[in-house]
Structure 1
Amino acid sequence: MSAIASGEAGALRDVLAAVTPGGGKSVLPLIAASRLIEAGIADRVCWIVPRDSLRLQAEEAFADPNWRAALGHALSVRAAENAPDPCRGLSGYVTTYQAVAAAPDLHLAEFKRRRYLLVIDEVHHLPALADADPSGFGPLQAGADVEASWSKAILPLLELARVRLLLSGTLERADGRGILWLPYREGPRTRTREVDLDAPGWAVVGYSRAAALAEKAVLPITFGALDGEARWLDEGRRPVGPHRLSGDYETTRQALFTALRTEFADALLDEALDATRRLRTERRTKLGLAPGEPGRGLGKLLVVAPDQENARRYLARVHGRMPARGRETEARLAVSDAGDAHEALAAFRLQPQPSVLVTVAMAYEGLDAPETAVVAALTHIRSRPWLEQMVARATRVDPFAGAWEEQRALVYHPDDLLFRRFRERMETEQGTLARHAKGRRQPALPFPGEAGRDADEPAAGIVPLHSNALALRFETLAPGPDFAARRPEAQDDLLDPPSVLERRLRHRIGELVAAQVVEDEEALRLPRAGGNYHRLNAVLKRVLGKGRGEMGAAELDAAVSWLERNRLADHLHLLDGDRRYDFEARRRAGLWRPPRGRSSAGVERAMEAGRLGGGGRPSTSRGGRG
């Protein structure tokens, strides 16, 4: 980025960072934005993330005081909605693939107005389109409509961006297709292609898991593989089994589907919960905390379920093994149908409680929760990139948990052959080879719900009957060479991210407007006929020139200051001509009558007192309504 800023990089404007999950790629947008905006190469930064739960996390990265001090930057970005002026006077904004696809013209207009650094997080989610795929291997087939719509909406932003930073934990897609915008060349074998790491105008930053382990940037992993057997009814309602999970590929799909919905899942969940309790007890003793006393660095458990129905069943089992008091806050659910899912994710990341989070897919990718020490992998998905992302939730170094040597990620999983194959490849370098989709054989086990990851339809019509756990064995992946590395220090409290500050200021404005409504109704400056809150909000919008939903933090703060010094009722004339709010016009024309028992003179005196008395504020004492 310094070379681009100084001009030494020439025409280089595309940077690809292939960083192992958990390797710290979320700091790269901070580095890029701080260097390029300071140098005048870019005016703003737009950071696009794959899911809504990551927007606030990206916003917090810019507000982190430690990174501000380390990089010497004072930039702020906001988690934007699809509303005009997404930056609101800040240095950029964070949005999602879905948001860009829903309002492509809004984001395109923003990129036309200013020079942008565009950051695309987890770019492997975006399939290459026929007109953007440099390999020319042809259009997308059916089944990738949603992701293709993301690519079509984001492609014009890539073309307009001043500099592009593409981030990913893998350079391959599960469907074998190319990734949007990446340069490809013919592979060494027939009908293969690979990312062209030497393409002109590109810089490629690689950080493998082996390198991250050597520098102690991520934790080594211990896998707890639990074998079992299962019985089910096939499509013809004939009993099948028992069959081992670790048995032949021919029965693995049905055996795993059954195991995740019957007793085997309960046994694996119990093992993970017991391991988490032992870990928390050990660390609590080292930290000198009393039993039950909340604290940071004790270790947490992430449970990844196959679908929402079973996620709720797993949560009920976890609650059943906890004391009744406090278990609702100690173990929480984060699925797309839960109204408080994002709050649960934020609490799991930033607070001592909850110590257990049960999810399906919301927390598997990009979740920055270093206190996650144990993962219960109760999912049927066996895509290598997906599993790498899930396992990486536990490999982040926890700055509160002691020395690096004292920490380790622990992953419990079914001991099926496909997970075992993934585990054996975990330490290998992530390759850039991707077969042409037309000639590519799909991997085994196309489990139901793999595309949406929330589906819960039965597997090929089978009916799960029974399963049980048999043997548990542990395998630890070697951490690699022992090189010294500086551990991150405990973070200070984060500054309020812009979106949080905006919500707080909007709430404060609402309180001030509501207070003025009550005061003005008591002083008979407004009729007690309802609708006054909306009437005064309309006045405020006309006074300030825009609605509070369109304001940035600085404008909202100015609005609060204005409301603390002025009365909205003094500006009702701004509503003249608007038939929705014609009370003031009717009052001035003599068409409004005071309530029975109050004379017009008394009303006028009350109104005058409201205008002039008490420092410009009417009395709030309650009188008779007549």
Structure 2
Amino acid sequence: MSAPSRPLRSHQRSLSELVASLARGEASGIHDILAAVTPGGGKSLLPVIAAARLIAAGIVERVVWVVPRDSLRLQAEEAFADPAWRAALDHNLSVRAADNSPDPSRGLAGYVTTYQAVAAAPALHLAEMRRHRTLLVVDEVHHLPALAEGEAGSEAGRSEAAAWSQALLPLFRAAHLRLLLSGTLERADGRRILWLPYRTENGAPSPDIDAPGWAVIGYSRAEALAEKAVLPVNFGALDGEASWLEGGRTSGQARVGPHRLSGSGPSATTRPALFTALRTGFARDLLREAFFATRRLRAERRRRRGLRNTDAVRGLGKLLVVAPDQASAQSYHAMLQAWMPEEQARRDVRIATSAEADAHAALAAFRLTPEPAVLVTVAMAYEGLDAPEVAVVAALTHIRSRPWLEQMIARATRVDPHAGDYADQHALVFHPDDPLFAQFRARIETEQATATRPRKRPAGAGSPEPRPPAPTDDGIVPLESNALGLRYAMLRPGPSVALARPEAKEGDTAPVPPSRIERALRARVAAMVTAQAVEDEAELRVTPGAPLPHRYNAVLKRLFGNKSRAAMTAEELESALAWLERNRLQDHLHLLEGDTRYAWSTRRRWAGMERRPG
């Protein structure tokens, strides 16, 4: 095997050694691997390491990787397609981002799907697991609650997460090996996590890391700092005042405030003040601080590299804005665009929320291209977003749970291979200076060990689930707020970690995942079918009936084993393209004989077609 261009991180080496032992038959009693890696710690490479070693050794035949959100499917594809890691790990495996169409692997080493897709078609995925010896990878497994007594039956699914667990549990049982990934081993609702073994410790359930058949791999912040896998983090804490009406818009309600955001500690006014601040003038002031800090950073990096303002290159630094809700995200997006010339605003600022039709395209562009440089989101991009160019975060979110905030901060702590030396990079997080955020800061500054044992859930912690609860403060009508002062602080010893990939050079070609290749091939096939139909309709006398492109698509389907384009592999799509370049579909309309939907087509095949009168 060729030597990696950079050494693997300690947890990646540990997994590599473990799967090598499995391949040699020295760890045959291990069937479950739990990787408890601090957020941003490079979990996405672990399935690649495991699959490459285990498939090569014949221990497993396929890998099925289940992620909590659709936006992570393409990132999982890219982890396998990354040319630097292909060379480092000496593998040539590919997986595809699959939907619930038949044959999700399409001849590749496996596929990536989502919790939601499995819950919608559990039989399809279970059949795939049973058809091959499978390595099942479950990303962010803490989103799956253990099913209570009687909950695994037909009445399960009172919540979306319980429905996910119900659908995934048979896949756990059918898998040959399981690799479970998580940045935190605690759930905000206090429930146990699906499949994990537990023991009672001090009267409370705790994951049993010594359970038979289990191997646990951890990666703590201290280890990441020692390996220089995380960037230093500066916090810009902005204090302010807020005023609101108590009790809703009913007349006669009293004005409350102004109250300081910082205060002397959490109190009854902390959350209403934060709720108000994120929707009024304070939010504009914090956003402005983050925007101009990003602009200064990009200008300085351009100056160091001798670049013009119009040069579009990687590594200049980007801004991620995390909003409390979709309405606020729209408002922040408009503010940011107003601070730029119109053309630059259209190019540089994007929004990605579940309400936006092009949200996934915006995420992909933000991650993979020099522009846009600013992304506004709510929850789509907080967990698992692999965008090393994010250097500044505007934390305009109401959520104060430790796992959620750790995930958010981790978006800015990844080492950017395009941004120069490690010593010249750092993350900058702007946030409201409220007592709840201060408590979070104090916890992560002192927490060094890997999170293999759950900690007591702090009072008032929010949900770490991928779709956080909507911010609702019954009876609160925000009136106004303003910023009072900004203070900076360096985080000790660093919040979370980031994977520094093997050296990536400016101008490297980005890997093209299999699903994108398939989409491009399907589009080309569709274009060629349509072109033939247009040419033939212009020449022939066509009477009413099924549109000619529809008939031609049916002919092509019959020519290729009665497979639709959506079900074809990339190789089959390429064969269809090659066939269309040499043949005419009109010569094969006889394949539709006997199908009443295309009766006109079969009665008037090419040989007997009447030409249009000249």
TM-score (norm 1): 0.88
2:436 is aligned with 1:424: no
Residue 391 of structure 2: which of 373, 379, 382 is its match? 373
The alpha-carbon distance between structure 1 residues 442 and 4, as it changes in their structure 2 partners (threshold 3 A), is same
CA deviation after TM superposition for structure 1 residue 384, in Å: 0.8
User: Does the residue aligned with 1:472 lie in a helix, a strand or coil?
Assistant: strand
Q: What's the offset of the Cα at 1:625?
A: 5.5
Percent identity (aligned): 63
Contact persistence 1:521–1:527 (CA under 8 A): no
CA distance 1:142–1:81, shift in 2 (3 Å): closer
1:48 paired residue number: 66
Task: Find out whether 1:227 has 2:244 as its counterpart.
Answer: no
Deviations 1:216-267 (A, max 9, x none): 1111211111111110000162111111111242110100000000000000
Contact 2:379–2:466 (Cα < 8 Å) also in 1 = no
Tell me which residue corresponds to 1:538: 554
Question: Is the aligned partner of 1:126 residue 2:138?
Answer: no
**How far 1:176 moved relative to its partner?**
1.9
Quickly say closer, same or farther: Cα 1:390–1:144, change in 2 above 3 A: farther
Asked if the contact 2:156–2:163 (Cα under 8 Å) also holds between the matched residues in 1, the reply is no
In the alignment, is residue 558 of structure 1 matched against residue 575 of structure 2? Answer: yes
Q: Residue type matched to 1:505 in 2?
A: L
Range with greater deviation from structure 2 (333-342 or 235-244): 235-244
Q: Does 1:37 align with 2:55?
A: yes
Matching residue's letter, 1:221: V
Which of the numbers 117, 120, 135 marks the counterpart of 1:99? 117
Aligned counterpart in structure 2 of residue 389 of structure 1, from 407, 425, 441: 407
CA RMSD of aligned residues (A): 2.5
CA drift at 1:175: 1.6
8 Å contact kept, 1:300–1:371:
yes
Alignment-derived partner of residue 460 in structure 1: 474
Q: Is the 8 A contact 1:219 1:396 kept in 2?
A: yes
CA–CA separation in structure 2 for the residues paired with 1:198 and 1:5 = 22
- The answer to whether the aligner puts 1:167 opposite 2:185 as a matched pair is no
Question: C-alpha displacement at 1:74, in angstroms?
Answer: 0.5
Rg comparison, structure with higher value:
1
Q: Which digits, 9 at most, give the CA deviation of each residue in 1:545-586, with x for residues without a partner?
A: 211110111111111111111211111111111111112433
CA shift in 2, pair 1:228/1:473, >3 Å: same
Contact map agreement 1:53 1:362 (CA 8 A) in 2: yes
SS in 2 for 1:344: helix
- Indicate if the aligned counterparts of 1:4 and 1:13 stay in contact, CA closer than 8 A: no
Give the aligned partner of residue 6 of structure 2: none
Aligned to 2:488: 474
Match of 1:59 in 2: 77
Q: Tell me the equivalent position of 1:217.
A: 229
How many residues are paired up? 580
* Residue 180 (structure 1) aligned to one of 185, 194, 214: 194
In structure 2, the CA distance between the partners of 1:222 and 1:498, relative to structure 1 (3 Å rule), is same
Equivalent of 1:89, from 107, 117, 133? 107
Q: Is the 8 A contact 1:17 1:168 kept in 2?
A: yes
What secondary structure does 2:343 align onto? coil
Alpha-carbon spacing, 1:382–1:582, altered in 2? closer, same or farther (3 Å): same
- 2:179 corresponds to which letter in structure 1? L
Letter in 1 for 2:245: L
Matched residue, 1:154: 168
2:208 is aligned with 1:196: yes
Runs of at least 5 residues in structure 2 that lack an aligned partner in the other structure? 1-18
Q: Which has the higher contact order (CA 8 A, sep 6+)?
A: 2
DSSP 3-state at the match of 2:217: strand
Residue-by-residue CA offset, 1:471-494 (whole Å, 9 max, x unaligned):
2111102358xxxx9874125323
Secondary structure at the counterpart of residue 199 of structure 1: coil
Residue 203 and residue 543 in structure 1: after superposition, are their counterparts in 2 closer, same or farther (change >3 A)? same
Distance 1:131 1:46, change over 3 A: farther
Deviation at 1:450, TM superposition (A): 8.7
Q: Which position in structure 1 is the counterpart of 2:4?
A: none
Hey, what does 1:609 align to over in structure 2?
none
Q: Does 1:245 align with 2:249?
A: no
**2:526 alignment partner, one of 510, 523, 544:** 510
How far off its partner does 1:432 sit? 4.0
What is the CA–CA distance in structure 1 between the aligned matches of 2:184 and 2:466, rounded to whole Å?
A: 18
Q: Report the Cα distance in structure 2 between the residues aligned to 1:451 and 1:541, rounded to whole angstroms.
A: 39
C-alpha change, 1:223 and 1:30, in structure 2 (3 Å) is same
1:618 maps to what in 2? none
**Maintained 8 Å contact 1:284/1:290:** yes
* Preserved CA contact (<8 Å) 1:47 1:93: yes
- Contact 1:19–1:25 (8 Å) recurs in 2: yes
Once residues 77 and 145 of structure 1 are traced to their aligned partners in structure 2, the CA distance between those partners, rounded to angstroms, is 30
- 1:257·1:459 contact (CA, 8 Å) conserved in 2? yes
Structure 1: gaps of 5 or more residues:
595-602, 604-623
